[in-house]
Homo-oligomer: A and B are copies of this chain.
Amino acid sequence: MAPKDDSLARRVLKGDIRATAKLIRLVDDNDPEALPELAALYPHTGAAHVIGITGSPGVGKSTIVDKIVGKFREDGKTVGILAVDPTSPFTGGAILGDRIRMQRHFLDSGVFIRSMATRGQFGGLTRSTADAVVALDAMGKDAIIIETVGVGQDEVDIAHSAHTTVLVTIPGMGDDIQAIKAGLMEIGDLFVVNKSDREGAGKTVRELQFMLHMSSERYQESGWEPPIIQTIGVAEQGIDDLYQEILRHREYLKYLDKNELKRRERLKIKRQLFELLKEGVVNEIMKKIGGDEVLDGIVNDILDRKSDPYSANAELLKRISGSA
């Protein structure tokens, strides 16, 4: 689909900041107006390096993001940042000090920062973040950083959609290491032990090494062994190492076997399509069952134990199929 001359899509392709901001707002509001624009932009995507940075609250993700953005800027690269973290300084709950910390980038036209807020009835955060990546990619950003909190499934899903995923932890968070062990490990391409001047940094590194060693077979197959980088974000220590490793992972991906690369891209597309379908279908359902009022009647029956959620669900599914 070719975008019209004055369309939002056309303006986004020209790098128009206000148009991009508007499109991301539409995406965040789940406004159907966004869809033709995104469809028009999609063929122009694929060039950006999408980097996910995730970790528990308090590990210093925002500082890491801030410093990495600085590195990209020094190299003359433009950056888009999507903050999908309720504790992030970029989002609504931000406190003033944190905002000031990022101020230099707020004033830099080569950096575009947006926070994703929508957590709709059906958890549209994965969908809206993927759509926002399309917008930033089409806009011409060289790197797109998605900052998420690495505990909820939403956040893991979002991290999954990045090319390079960085997991940040700090010394002395044993529970964090357990979480990494329980599932996050698989999505990490790089591991960062931030605040490495704290006691126990060595122990945390050794724990991570041990876990990586346990999965060494998988890494030998893929040809990429996730590095563990010690940083002190606020003092900018280790940041250059981290930046170089991020670039090295990008290079690694470029020279991956074509089939493997396609397999990964396919998985990403599949995920994005599923997220879209899920939302679209639920909207369809609501229309077909007659909207909120009909639903309220059903809910009341369940409340009075005249029905139950399982029978009501079966009934509704039948009705949707039957009346279509």
Which of A116-124, A190-198, A217-225, A248-256 lines the interface with chain B?
Answer: A116-124
A135 at the interface (CB under 8 A from B): no
Q: Quickly give the copy total for this chain.
A: 2
Q: Cα distance A154–B157 when bound, in Å?
A: 12
Question: A229 to chain B: closest CB distance in Å?
Answer: 21
State whether B57 touches A317 (Cβ < 8 A).
no
Q: Cα distance A15–B43 when bound, in Å?
A: 58
Question: A322 to chain B: closest CB distance in Å?
Answer: 8
Chain A: interface secondary structure?
helix
State whether B39 touches A310 (Cβ < 8 A).
yes
Contacts of A151 in B (CB 8 A): 56-57, 86, 149, 151-152, 155
- Given known pairs A42-B310, A119-B153, A175-B58, the reply for A93 and B181 (CB within 8 Å) is yes
A103 at the interface (CB under 8 A from B): no
State whether B175 touches A1 (Cβ < 8 A).
no
A300 at the interface (CB under 8 A from B): yes
Contacts of A17 in B (CB 8 A): none
Chain A count of residues within 8 A CB distance of the other chain: 77
Question: A169 to chain B: closest CB distance in Å?
Answer: 10
16 A–B contacts, CB within 8 A, in A order: A35-B314, A57-B151, A57-B173, A57-B175, A95-B178, A125-B153, A149-B151, A149-B179, A153-B154, A262-B303, A265-B303, A266-B300, A269-B302, A270-B295, A276-B310, A277-B313
